[in-house]
Amino acid sequence: MTPNPIQTARLTLRSYSSEDIPELVRLASAREVAATTLRIPHPYTEQDAREFIAAYAAKTAPETRFAITRTSDSQLCGGIGFRTEDPHQHAELGYWLGVPYWGQGYATEAARAVIQYGFETLGLQRIYASLFTENAASARVLEKIGMRREGLMRAHIFKWGEFHDLECYGMLKTDPR
Ligand SMILES: CC(C)(COP(=O)(O)OP(=O)(O)OC[C@H]1O[C@@H](n2cnc3c(N)ncnc32)[C@H](O)[C@@H]1OP(=O)(O)O)[C@@H](O)C(=O)NCCC(=O)NCCS
């Protein structure tokens, strides 16, 4: 799905375009970004970026994805989006930021805005997120936006030669935000 842009205090969350490809490859190809995400290939190639953007332009991907850009200079900083499952009116939230943009509150600012978009514009009843136990920064982002820790799936993901526990966080439309 190609959404309308969302403005926050410092960020513009907008659809990707083919002009984002060089910066997307530069930022998403960092090992630190791939290490704690479930679906970013590593190494991340220009072909990966091209196919990712083409899928959303053609509306063949079921997910809603936003490029996270800094409004002041239009810099691409990362990505955020939902993977929805319509019958259940729920969606999985996912996000990443390029390493130079960590630690400035951007993920929290973007996640807060897309949560609101998910509940109010998409009409979702539940939004959840899954993260590796060791991803303390992401857990903190989810806590700051009001998500609750719901449980742990032990050794759920096999990545780069190791099994990882997966923490589950979630939020209902009726929960306080
Ligand atoms: C997780 C990620 C999105 C966080 O982005 P960010 O913009 O730096 O996040 P924010 O600045 O909004 O908030 C990070 C919070 O985590 C805290 N934090 C950062 N590193 C931490 C650590 N090692 N241990 C504990 N807390 C940590 C920060 O202090 C901040 O909390 P605070 O505001 O209470 O001080 C970013 O690190 C990233 O892209 N990582 C790689 C991809 C990824 O893991 N995506 C999420 C998959 S579930």
Say how many residues make up the chain. Answer: 177
CB of 145 within 6 A of ligand 1: the answer is no
Question: What is the pairing mode between strands 126-132 and 90-97?
Answer: parallel
Give all domains of the chain, ordered by start, each with its CATH number.
6-172 (3.40.630.30)
Q: Are 68 and 102 in contact (CB under 8 A)?
A: no
- Does the pTM exceed 0.75? yes
| Per-residue pLDDT tens digits for 43-100 | 999 999 999 999 887 776 668 999 999 999 999 999 999 999 889 999 999 999 999 9
Please name the residue whose Cα sits nearest to atom 3 of ligand 1. 96
- To test ligand 1's pocket by mutation, which of 8, 27, 96, 149 has the most ligand atoms within 8 angstroms of CB? 96
Q: Are 139 and 164 in contact (CB under 8 A)?
A: no
- To test ligand 1's pocket by mutation, which of 77, 131, 141 has the most ligand atoms within 8 angstroms of CB? 141
The angle subtended at Cα 94 by Cα 150 and Cα 112, nearest 5°, is: 80
